[in-house]
Structure 1
Amino acid sequence: MFPVTASLCSTLLIVGVFVFVSADQKSITAESGQNITLPCRAPNNNILAVEWSRADLGDEYVLLYRDGQLVPDDQHPSFKNRVDLQDRQMKDGDVSLILKNVTINDTGRYECRVKAGNNRRKRANLSGDPISIISLSVDPPGQTGGSVGVIIGLIVAAVFLVAAGFFIYRHIKNRKLI
């Protein structure tokens, strides 16, 4: 009797941890051709520089903003004239990225880094940890909703596990009464 209950509890715990951990990552799904915004908010307003990058691009940036302007040096060619900050004044620390006319090639993991401080003459060093990580998935036109299927699948699995746990509990309870 106890091993069944322990097994059920451990299964529910593992599923709960999986759902909790996967919910922590920011994911955005878009359809090819759309304009999208990748959200990022800095902890303060004294922003010297903003860098949006993707690890698979090597040393090239998606966007680099420093000293009040976009820096085209070392920007990956596929992002030229397609990216901008949502608010170049960065009110309330908003350094969200606008990506125009997304394509399947834009799929990837985007990282937002910010250099903050009081001295604007100091060169920004953006080698620290990202403050925001966004996983972008771009579907071909007419094929959005792939992530909805995964969410529905997880919900169905969770409902099934809860129902199975309830029936096992009732079965064990009924055995005690006999």
Structure 2
Amino acid sequence: MDAGKSGMLCWILLFVFFPLPTSAEQKTITAESGQDVPLTCRAPKNKNKIIVVEWSRADLDSEYVLLYRDEQFAPEEQHPSFKDRVDLQDRQMKDGDVSLILKDVTTADSGTYQCRVVLGDKKHRSRAHLKTHPIITINLRVAPPGPGGSVGLIVGLSVAAVLLIAAVIGLLIYIKKQKKKNQDSNQPNAEV
């Protein structure tokens, strides 16, 4: 075999046994401070069980937003700012759903989140997880609360105030009419 054909064969074998990584889906989510935000991720359909779920953010170094392995969460690997604030949307991970719920978000939660999973069977499970390509990359932007609260709250309070004022005015008019009616009925009729 000449050098050209053997080089081509090497490239073909390389792509068959070591396929190029597929690029992860990318998504941008905008939220308001105080909301609970779902970050959606679904593992590829596979007969193997999900043995590791990893939600990470690049600026957290070696700590995770959430790490699940050996059929349990690993809180010792979790960044302190996410303790008691994150959970899987479906702890059973039915149909490969490994979506994350991020509770009571703040502007500090803004960043780029990545979801990774490792599929395998029980006999190949290990404490260490593999560095796999992300399934999805989500850019989360959390807006600070507006001055005086959200627009919906301001509108709601304004409507309530107008209705309260209208009710008070209506009540005062009713009381005034009842008072006048009572005064008219208490006056003796003057007969000549």
1:25 aligns with 2:29: no
**Structural mapping, 1:18-167, within 5 Å:** 25-44=26-45, 46-119=49-122, 122-123=125-126, 124-142=128-146
Match of 2:158 in 1: none
Secondary structure of the residue aligned to 2:141 is strand
Letter in 2 for 1:140: P
Contact 2:26–2:136 (CA under 8 A) maintained in structure 1 = no
CA deviation map 1:67-94 (0-9, x unaligned):
2221111210000000000001100000
Q: Distance in 2 between matches of 1:142 and 1:126?
A: 42
Letter in 2 for 1:34: Q
- Once superposed, which parts of structure 1, at least 4 consecutive aligned residues long, lie more than 3 Å away? none
Q: Distance in 1 between matches of 2:79 and 2:90?
A: 21
Contact 1:53–1:112 (CA under 8 A) maintained in structure 2 = yes
Judge which range, 135-144 or 76-85, deviates more. Answer: 135-144
Larger CA Rg, structure 1 vs 2? 2
Could you tell me which runs of 5 or more consecutive residues in structure 2 were left unpaired when the two chains were aligned. 1-24, 151-192
**Identical positions, percent:** 64
Q: Following TM superposition, by how much is the alpha carbon of 1:56 offset from its aligned partner in structure 2, in angstroms? A: 0.4
Q: Following TM superposition, by how much is the alpha carbon of 1:121 offset from its aligned partner in structure 2, in angstroms? A: 5.6
Q: Distance in 2 between matches of 1:133 and 1:107?
A: 13
Quickly say closer, same or farther: Cα 1:79–1:125, change in 2 above 3 A.
same
Secondary structure of the residue aligned to 2:112 is strand
Q: Under a length normalisation based on structure 2, what TM-score does the superposition of the two structures give?
A: 0.59
Q: Distance in 1 between matches of 2:83 and 2:94?
A: 24
Secondary structure of the residue aligned to 1:136 is strand
Q: Distance in 2 between matches of 1:27 and 1:88?
A: 24
Match of 1:176 in 2: none
Secondary structure of the residue aligned to 1:105 is helix
Quickly say closer, same or farther: Cα 1:25–1:100, change in 2 above 3 A.
same
Contact 2:70–2:125 (CA under 8 A) maintained in structure 1 = no
Secondary structure of the residue aligned to 1:25 is strand
Q: Following TM superposition, by how much is the alpha carbon of 1:42 offset from its aligned partner in structure 2, in angstroms? A: 0.1
